Amino acid sequence: EDQVTQSPEALRLQEGESSSLNCSYTVSGLRGLFWYRQDPGKGPEFLFTLYSAGEEKEKERLKATLTKKESFLHITAPKPEDSATYLCAVANSGGYQKVTFGTGTKLQVIP
C-alpha cells in the first residue's frame, strides 16, 4: 500500500526566512509525485509533478526536488501570501489513476 509522510506538521517562518518541507514516500513503482497547495476551505491547487529521482521543478519562490525515497519543497524568501497547507501525493505505476496524499505541512509566514 502506498504511503506518504510529511514533516513537519506545521512550520512558522518569518518573512524572508527560507526553509524546506519534507515528503517521504513508499510506493511499489512511482508514476508521479505531486505537490499541491491548499488554502483554507479550498481544494488542492496543483504546483508540481516530479517523475524520476534527480528531477527538479521551480516556480517563483518554490523549488521541488525528488530522490528515490523523498521529495523536498524548498521555499526561498517566503512572503505572507505563501501561507497555506502544502500537500504531497504519489501515484503508483500499477495502472491505476488514484493518488495517495500525505497529511500536509501547514506553513505560516509572518510579516
Residues within the interface to another protein (CB under 8 A): 31-32, 34, 36, 41-46, 49, 51, 87, 89, 91, 96-104
CB 99 within 8 A of CB 89: yes
Q: How far is the CB of 84 from another protein (least distance, A)?
A: 14
Q: How far is the CB of 14 from another protein (least distance, A)?
A: 26
In the complex with another protein, the residue whose CB is nearer, 15 or 39, is 39
Q: How far is the CB of 30 from another protein (least distance, A)?
A: 10
| Residue 91, φ and ψ in degrees, nearest 5 | -125, 135
- Give Cα separations from 77 to 8, 13, 35, 101, 106 (angstroms): 18, 10, 19, 26, 17
